[in-house]
Amino acid sequence: MKDGITLKNLSIGYKTPLLEGLSLHMAEGEFWVIVGPNGVGKSTLVKTILGIVPPLSGRILIHGKDCTHGCEEKRFLSYVPQMEDYSHHFPATALDVVLSGFFPRLGRFERITEKEVERALYWMERFGIADVKEKPFNELSGGQQRKVLIARALVGNPHYIFLDEPTTGVDLKSSKRILEIIDTLHKEKGFGICMVTHELNFVWDYIEKVVLIGYREFFVGRKEEILNEELLSRIYQVDVKIAKTDFGPVFLIGDKHV
């Protein structure tokens, strides 16, 4: 196993820091989530690790190499953005979108090979969307679009997959299926997962470690240590209760699920 991803005293934001002094280590094969209220820097943290947003200060190491300002090791990272960050009018079929996951790894004059088409179809089969491969991406359901984008992230054999709210706006059945497939593939392939989510009730069974982000503060650790009533109430600035059930904990804000 390689050295994983290490953040050292990382500060993130856009001119003004959203978060300062974050240090953590994400080993390959671990399942992390980033949770917290809107506007505190969850998506910005992911984009900073990926190199989309430059850090304000601190260091990012991938497999022991300094990747703070870019490096070859970032080819091992794949990203599934929020749906609003992705064009719903993308003029391509579902298969075309999945195949576009190969583009960053192709040379200037290289073309998609038959082997790569087969690999794209393999992932579409795994997600149960091979039957819509010729349909325009913008005509797919929300759940199908999410699966297409996750399949796109997987075709390049990543070591880590970053997903930004992959179940938001998707019905309960599709949300559960997406998480089950991600978890199965995570266990089979051994890649690391880092997911931004608000759906604590959905992800509890799958996750191992948590970054809980508030307004200019954060907590990092195992889910049992971090996702407790005291810290969640502090971060969300409302009364959070955790009900224990036969199916696991249920997170509640007042009479609403977290």
H/E stretch holding 233 reads helix 229-236
Going by their DSSP bridges, the two strands 77-80 and 256-257 should be labelled as unpaired
> Could you tell me how far CA 3 lies from the centroid of its own chain?
20
pLDDT at res. 258: 54
Residue 147 structure tokens:
């699966």
b vs e for 193-203, b when ≥16 Cβ sit within 10 Å of the residue's Cβ? Answer: bbbbbbbbebb
User: Per-residue pLDDT for the chain (258 aa), expressed as one digit of tens each?
Assistant: 458 999 999 999 998 999 999 999 999 899 999 999 999 999 999 999 999 999 999 999 999 999 999 888 888 899 998 876 565 566 789 999 999 888 766 656 678 888 999 999 999 998 899 999 999 998 998 888 889 999 999 998 889 999 999 888 788 888 888 888 888 888 888 889 999 998 898 899 999 999 999 998 999 999 999 999 999 999 999 999 999 888 889 998 764 445
How far apart, in whole angstroms, are the C-alpha atoms of residue 230 and residue 137? 43
Q: Residue 62: left (phi > 0), alpha (psi -120 to 50), or beta?
A: beta
pLDDT at res. 2: 59
**Reported pTM:** 0.89
In sequence order, what are the beta bridge partners of 251? 242
The residue whose two tokens read 């325009």 is 136
pLDDT at res. 18: 94
pLDDT at res. 75: 86
pLDDT at res. 254: 64
pLDDT at res. 80: 92
pLDDT at res. 51: 93
The residue whose two tokens read 């819509």 is 132
Q: Per-residue pLDDT tens for 109-142? A: 678 888 999 999 999 998 899 999 999 998 998 8
